[in-house]
Amino acid sequence: MKPLVALVGRPNVGKSTLFNRITRQKTAIVDSTPGVTRDRHISPADWIGRSFLLMDTGGYSHDNDTISQAMLEQTMLAIGEADMIIFMTDVRSGLTYLDLDMAKLLRREFPDKPIFFAVNKVETPQLAIEGEAFRKTGFTNPYFISAREGSGVADMLDDIVKAF
């Protein structure tokens, strides 16, 4: 079985953007129909010769402002099946209560699962400085990434596949 890596975080932090970036190549081979990638929540991915499955979560709701209870339960079930977690936040919106709640919940519910903590949308040195505040989540080794531009993603994937 390929390892399953789940992408979690509150709406709008950039999960689907990262999902599409990491799985693009593969899904393009599997299905070239435009729009298909957007609607697929689990997709095969490769990094330096290692194969895994990447799962996007939270794409099930149209409500972008709150995490509904049903959505949270769905996400928690999905994470339960995952071997590893990428917990994503957004430096441009700052650290929010939802991020802190999610951090606490992840540690409490999944103490034994490897969690990779990503601070997304870091595209300037100033934003990297602001990203330091995200260590308050208790995740003290953040990956500063830009899902849109790709920076930092390679380093994070290197560490993820090493942990398989």
In the annotated binding site for GTP, the residues are 9-16, 56-60, 120-123
Q: Which of 7, 8, 13, 16 binds Mg ion (CB under 5 A)?
A: 16
Q: Which of 8, 45, 54, 147 binds ligand GDP (CB under 6 A)?
A: 147
Among 59, 61, 100, 105, binds Mg ion (CB under 5 A): 59
H/E segment holding residue 140: none
Residue 21 interacting with ligand GDP (CB under 6 A): no
Q: Does 14 interact with ligand GDP (rule: CB under 6 A)?
A: yes
**Sheet of strand 143-144, all strands in order from the earlier edge strand to the far edge:** 42-47, 50-56, 4-8, 84-90, 115-120, 143-144
What is the footprint of Mg ion within residues 104-133 (CB under 5 A)? none
Q: How far is CA 131 from the centre of its chain?
A: 16
If one asks whether residue 16 binds ligand GDP (CB under 6 A), the answer comes out as: yes
Query: Cα(1)–Cα(130) distance, rounded to whole angstroms?
Result: 39
Residue 11 touching ligand GDP (CB under 6 A): yes
Strands (E), 48-128: 50-56, 84-90, 115-120
Q: Both tokens of residue 145?
A: 């990434």
- Determine if 152 is a binding residue for ligand GDP (CB under 6 A): no
Residues that bind Mg ion (CB under 5 A): 15-16, 59
